[in-house]
Amino acid sequence: MSGQDVTRNSPQCRNCACEYNRLEEARFWSRIMQEHALFIKLGLPADQQELREEAQVLIDVFMELRRRLQRVSRLEGQLLEDLIRAVRAIIEFKAKILRDLIQCRAEPGSNYPLLLDHIRREAVRFINFLQRPVPQDPLSMLLEQEVFWLRIMKEHIEFIIHLLDPSERELINQAEELRRTFSRLLETARDLESMAETRPRTFNTVVRFTQDVISNTRALRDFKGAAFELAKLCELLGIVSSPLLLDHVRREADKFLNELNVLLPELRRCSSTLGQQDEIIHDEQMDEFFPIN
Ligand SMILES: [Fe+2]
Ligand SMILES: [Fe+2]
């Protein structure tokens, strides 16, 4: 048996997703959900009292869930059920506000429609994680993550650009440069994800691309961190509702980097387990052309 076969059949390769700590994921995303509810509340017009109260209920619900998540060592049972119910509720809340804006049934306040859609997608990712086992193949998992997060990162930059005061020309210029970079990266990630549907046994370009993504995401993370520090010191002009928003997007960049740092070594170590399925597909295709009977 060749070295490659040994790697391909290694249980470590098939189980790369096991390195994810479900409890840590739930703690991370629950804080994100609580902050989303806060940002929505801060962005609602003052006369939309009912929606503001609904947002406050969600803030309290996630605050309590986070307390419970701190006290346990496993994510299961009633806590898991309550968490899924709360995430469903916040997804519907975000969707409802977005629908009203799309149909011009409500005043927008300062919640951009794209921001509502963005935080709705983040919540959907969280609930998918809670409800479904994570796919096992490192290549498809890595590309799926890159497509998801690069879109999120690109949108963060777009929100920052639109929340900065027009007089913040230097920062806007830096952000525009980052936006161009992340638009390109996202487009490439989508291309690579599409190519990976052909189930290649190895795809070294994805490794090189991911290294590029990591270095650019580090730069973006630092940009967000610096903007957060400026906002805290009251040295930043703009309409950011709370400096917490800048820290929030910085944490999401760090989350993306953490996920890449788990999966990139997996991809390097394992030639894809898809190779085995490849052979099956290939055999079936051959049967079609050359039936035995
Ligand atoms: Fe978020
Ligand atoms: Fe985000």
HEC string for the chain: CCHHHHHHCCHHHHCHHHHCCHHHHHHHHHHHHHHHHHHHHHHCCCCCHHHHHHHHHHHHHHHHHHHHHHHCCCCCHHHHHHHHHHHHHHHHHHHHHHHHHHCCCCCCCCCCHHHHHHHHHHHHHHHHHHHCCCCCCHHHHHHHHHHHHHHHHHHHHHHHHHHECCCCHHHHHHHHHHHHHHHHHHHHHHHHHHHHCCCCCCCHHHHHHHHHHHHHHHHHHHHHHHHHHHHHCCCCCECCCCCHHHHHHHHHHHHHHHHHHHHHHHHHHCCCCHHHHHHHHHHHHHHHHCCCC
Rounded CA-CA distance 148/190 in Å is 10
The sign one gets for the Cα dihedral 245, 250, 253, 255 is: negative
Structure tokens given for 226: 């610096």
Do 165 and 220 fall into the same domain? yes
Q: Measuring CA to CA, which residue among 88, 192, 177, 95 is closest to residue 145?
A: 192
Last residue of a domain, one of 133, 150, 180: 133
Last residue of a domain, one of 87, 108, 133: 133
Q: What is the pLDDT along the chain (293 residues), one digit of tens a residue?
A: 333 443 343 334 554 544 468 999 999 999 999 999 999 999 999 999 999 999 999 999 999 999 999 999 999 999 999 999 999 999 999 999 999 999 999 988 999 999 999 999 999 999 999 997 776 688 999 999 999 999 999 999 999 999 999 999 999 999 999 999 999 999 999 999 999 999 998 899 999 999 999 999 999 999 999 999 999 999 999 999 999 999 999 999 999 999 999 999 988 887 544 444 444 444 444 445 445 44
Do 40 and 57 fall into the same domain? yes
pLDDT at 114: 98
Residues β-bridged to residue 238: 164
Query: Is 199 part of a structural domain of the chain?
Result: yes
Last residue of a domain, one of 133, 158, 190: 133
In the reported structure, the alpha carbon of residue 249 is separated from the centroid of ligand 1 by a whole-number distance in angstroms of 6
**Domain total for the chain?**
2
Do 122 and 181 fall into the same domain? no
In the reported structure, the alpha carbon of residue 164 is separated from the centroid of ligand 1 by a whole-number distance in angstroms of 18
- Ligand 1 is an ion; its neighbours by CB within 5 Å are 32, 122
Query: Is 293 part of a structural domain of the chain?
Result: no
Rounded CA-CA distance 16/262 in Å is 8
Query: Is 140 part of a structural domain of the chain?
Result: yes
In the reported structure, the alpha carbon of residue 283 is separated from the centroid of ligand 1 by a whole-number distance in angstroms of 45
Rounded CA-CA distance 189/202 in Å is 16
Query: Is 260 part of a structural domain of the chain?
Result: yes
CATH of the domain at 113: 1.20.1260.120
pLDDT at 179: 98
Do 138 and 275 fall into the same domain? yes
Rounded CA-CA distance 39/288 in Å is 57
**Cβ atoms 192, 139 nearer than 8 A:** no
Do 186 and 102 fall into the same domain? no
Query: Is 290 part of a structural domain of the chain?
Result: no
Do 172 and 252 fall into the same domain? yes
Do 146 and 250 fall into the same domain? yes
Do 123 and 265 fall into the same domain? no
Do 89 and 43 fall into the same domain? yes
Taking the model in full, what pTM does it have?
0.87
Do 123 and 188 fall into the same domain? no
In the reported structure, the alpha carbon of residue 118 is separated from the centroid of ligand 2 by a whole-number distance in angstroms of 6
In the reported structure, the alpha carbon of residue 67 is separated from the centroid of ligand 1 by a whole-number distance in angstroms of 20
Query: Is 6 part of a structural domain of the chain?
Result: no
In the reported structure, the alpha carbon of residue 128 is separated from the centroid of ligand 1 by a whole-number distance in angstroms of 16
Query: Is 120 part of a structural domain of the chain?
Result: yes
Do 115 and 141 fall into the same domain? no
Query: Is 291 part of a structural domain of the chain?
Result: no
Domain, as residue range, for 245: 134-285
pLDDT at 108: 83
Structure tokens given for 230: 């400026």
pLDDT at 32: 98
Do 145 and 273 fall into the same domain? yes
**Cβ atoms 86, 33 nearer than 8 A:** yes
